[in-house]
Amino acid sequence: MEKLVSSKKTKEIVKKYGFQFSKSLGQNFLIDENIIYKIIDGAQIGKEDVVIEVGPGIGTLTQYLAERAKKVLAIEIDKNLIPILEGETLKGYENVEVVNADVLKVDIIKLIYEKLDGQKVKVVANLPYYVTTPIIMRFLEEEIPVKDIVVMVQKEVADRMQARPNTKDYGALTVAVQYYCKPHVITKVPRSVFIPQPKVESTVIRLKVLDKPKVEVEDREIFFKVVKASFAKRRKTLLNSLSMSSLGLDKEEIKKVLSMSSISEKRRAESLTIQEFAVLANNIAAIKKSI
């Protein structure tokens, strides 16, 4: 099978099957081999690796993944792409299996045990931008056996994932991703390497999943509630943000917790490190237990 990674070949396939790009599914097909190699090299795909690819499109990246990996499981939500993938572009690749499913709804752990022998997976994808965060957080939060996530995302999202405290990009997504992973930008991607061209710039980012979370927390649910509540009103002080949240503590109790945590009442969420959020959440968990 001739490689798909060209504007000409992509247009030929699209025309042959009468495929219509879906704006609602955020479909933008990659047409640059250099970027594909950067994705695969960044993911350090080897012959023993099993890969889940989310949203393979017409299989452009999938072909290259199949040549490096032990097996590729491609999860595609658009049923109109299945005949293209199974009937043409991936026909000669025996180590690729296509599943027509919504990655946000399908039982991923079951798929890994049924299709990939329960091996720890690498997730590699050119993600649809409208569901980037829910997809990434699903792989991180649900204890799916993942060792690496290498994804193409909107530049602004990548900036938030790898942000540092006291910057405009630092927020709840930053803390959530860095709780589970070590982020590293692989390359920036111009709009011109897609058909059709998106309206935004993109970035390929690697999220190296940590063996254990970056900080120890007594109650993970409370930790993430504290993070979300703190950033919900960025301009407000932590005292005001947390007092107005659903944590169930009044202003005096929040004052007490901040004092216990050696955090000034006047600080804002963007100034806290992930370690300080952990201390704060652990003290809130302790207070809630004692009430």
Residues sharing a CB contact under 8 Å with residue 246, sequence separation 6 or more, in sequence order: 225, 229
**How far, CA to CA in Å, does 44 sit from each of 31, 167, 208, 262?**
21, 30, 11, 42
Average pLDDT, stretch 246-262? 92
Average pLDDT, stretch 176-183? 98
Average pLDDT, stretch 135-164? 96
pLDDT-derived band at 143 (thresholds 50, 70, 90) equals confident
pLDDT-derived band at 63 (thresholds 50, 70, 90) equals very high
| 3 has pLDDT over 80 | no
**How far, CA to CA in Å, does 256 sit from each of 191, 209, 219, 227, 283?**
50, 35, 19, 18, 9
CA distance 130 to 104: 13
The pLDDT assigned to 247 comes to 87
| 2 has pLDDT over 70 | no
| 248 has pLDDT over 80 | yes
The pLDDT assigned to 207 comes to 98
Residues sharing a CB contact under 8 Å with residue 166, sequence separation 6 or more, in sequence order: 270, 271
**How far, CA to CA in Å, does 117 sit from each of 49, 74, 124, 200, 285?**
12, 15, 18, 38, 39
CA–centroid distance for 102 within its chain: 15
Mean pLDDT of the chain: 94
pLDDT-derived band at 24 (thresholds 50, 70, 90) equals confident
* β-pair type (96-100, 181-189): unpaired
The pLDDT assigned to 187 comes to 97
The pLDDT assigned to 121 comes to 98
The pLDDT assigned to 26 comes to 82
The pTM assigned to this predicted structure is: 0.93
More confident position, 235 or 224: 224
* β-pair type (194-195, 121-126): unpaired
| 55 has pLDDT over 80 | yes
The pLDDT assigned to 139 comes to 97
